[in-house]
Structure 1
Amino acid sequence: MELKKVTPEHLLDEPHGSDDCMTSSPTARYVDIHGTASSKVLQRGQDFWDKIYGKISRRIMSRMDRSGTEDLGLTARLMYGYILSNTNVLSPVETSYVLIAGLIPQDVNPQLKGHLRGALNGGASVEEVRAVRDIVMEICKASGMRQLGEDVPGGWGWRSEVATL
């Protein structure tokens, strides 16, 4: 509640001046959770997933489902359905940029490669995706991240060269 007190009203994720959550929420989260069939939201997420991953989307989801825990595929379906595919605030391309920015510091090249290509599938240009990657790399380096040796057991950085287009 303390954060809400100091957040500018136009940034609050709630209806602005209306008691009707079903029609005035800027993100439509309330509608997704309480007013839309979950099957419809999950299908929207599947469509978003398919657009990002293209012809390999089924194979990737199948691998997640067989990864040793059913929760990985479930989590992806819920995340894409209820969060990432919601384009009321961010466009699909902007969502891809956020994902790229989150994956680079985690040193998860396989996922990063998919999302670099996924941004292109969503309509971004090669130049835009490279610019996002470069800016994120600069931010990471400014915060102390660096290339780590393969034999270094831990640290703040990357084990291998960070994926690019």
Structure 2
Amino acid sequence: MKYYLDLDMEKCSACGACAVACMDQNDIAPRARAPFRNVFSVDKLEDGTLKPAYASLACMHCADAPCIPACPSACLKKDESTGFTIYDNENCIGCHSCAMSCPFGVPTFNEAGKMEKCDGCAVRVTHGMEPACARVCPTGALKLYTQVEYENAHLDKSVHKLLKLI
């Protein structure tokens, strides 16, 4: 079953709980490096006035992810059970081809020079749990959908709508 992790920018309060949960889930030490999920402040134009808005962004798990064919050591692939773009950096040679091909600049590199990124908490999702970021979101801005739920949901405030404007 394919899943989608979506953000309702109208609900995001930029509290950062998602980023902290990501760090905890992925054993990223505070101040050691950035989490796989980050919160950004953006300005949106509403009725001729700029108003603040927030976006919690991580890997977009693109349907046709350019990072997958860009990796010469086949470290990236689509997870068959979730549809998320996952990685196994065992064979990573640290060439940064994945990062250069990603339009969102998502792949990061650990202290050993190996690529790491958000995997949508694929193991959690496979076992019936929400991704860590969605589980702790106090406003419900981050939500996990099955493909059927996603197709039937009214996602006019979705980050995917924002991406279509870019």
Quick check: TM above 0.5? Answer: no
Q: Which has the higher contact order (CA 8 A, sep 6+)?
A: 2
Please tell me the TM-score bracket, short chain as reference: under 0.3
More helix by share: 1
Larger radius of gyration: 1
**TM-score, length-scaled by structure 2:** 0.27
More strand by share: 2
